[in-house]
Amino acid sequence: MQQRKLGPFTVSAIGLGCMNLSHAYGVPPSAEQGGKVLRAALDAGVTLFDTAALYGFGKNEELVGPVLKPHRQDITLCSKGGMAGVTGDDGVLRRVIDGRPETVIKNCEDSLRRLQTDVIDLYYLHRWDKKVPIEESVGAMKRLVEQGKVRTIGLSEVSATTIRKAHAVHPITAVQTEYSLWTRNPEIAVLDACRELGITFVAFSPVARGYLCDAVHDVTSFDAKDIRKAMPRFEPANYAHNLALLPAYRELAGEAGCTPAQLALAWLLHKGENIIPIPGTTSVEHLKEDLAADAVRLTPALLQRVEALINEKTVAGNRYTEQANREVDTEVF
């Protein structure tokens, strides 16, 4: 597999987003199946693994840690804090964004324990807590680096302005934001800021939560716990419009000699050497399909046609609900 730079690390050009193994898309697979996917990724040459305290409220880190532990020196392990599960006075576990320095430090220490490691290679602030100056949250992350608990730090779903403020406190190694053909927000300013500051851009949801795999056809059948049920783009009327774009997209994938999912990933790899997609999957078969995108070559003409077909103007619906949009700091069209 191709290799790319991620701060001081050299990693596989396509990483593995581990969220799907414990979180977000309905009932997660068994721990046994999750382990199979992780080991298959290792066998295929993946060296970048991405998890978070939030995923499964810690269960994802508990799954990932023991499987990756024997390979710890051969991989780059990433996790996130500042957004985690907190049990309220009513005994209910809820997602809470909390960027206070003491919370960021505690989140990291909890992650280290669950991951069964002494140090996290890349530690992200999962969301900027807008009640806390970004300089304070990043200052806490800087102390984690100084203490040897974290090697490098990153940010998730932030604007170019916030990136620059954070980078002035401590060098930012990576910015992670949703980026795919149908979510182009990073192109407004964040990609330019990353190139200017020497920051790697990590693209999550690179296959548009299954849409660009041509794998989601009936949005009414989503599991009750599937986060896509609340996303405007997957609302039935919007999704009917979006589905109408896929026949032409499938034809373009055919011209490129690849699958729809591989076309989405190859497009990202062609957008810049500092971009690393981290698709997630619960299937070893789909994992192998995703990783084969590394070998797909796209002509400039085909790239232009793909971008003209699926973009922020041709897709119906917002990527997030109004509440979720308030929780992120990314620029919008």
Length of the chain: 333
The alpha carbon of residue 327 and the mean position of all alpha carbons in its chain are separated, in whole angstroms, by: 16
Q: Does residue 332 sit in helix, strand or coil?
A: coil
Torsion sign over Cα 63, 64, 65, 69: positive
Q: Check if 179 is active-site.
A: no
Other residues' Cβ atoms within 10 Å of the Cβ of residue 28: 21
Q: CA-CA distance, 262 to 47, in Å (whole number)?
A: 19
Q: CA-CA distance, 162 to 175, in Å (whole number)?
A: 11
Other residues' Cβ atoms within 10 Å of the Cβ of residue 205: 22
The alpha carbon of residue 326 and the mean position of all alpha carbons in its chain are separated, in whole angstroms, by: 19
Q: CA-CA distance, 247 to 256, in Å (whole number)?
A: 15
Looking at the DSSP bridge assignments, the partners of residue 251 are none
Identify the active-site residue in 25, 55, 124, 320.
55
Q: CA-CA distance, 132 to 270, in Å (whole number)?
A: 36
Q: CA-CA distance, 121 to 112, in Å (whole number)?
A: 11
Q: Give the strand pairing for 9-12 and 76-81.
A: unpaired
Positions marked catalytic: 55
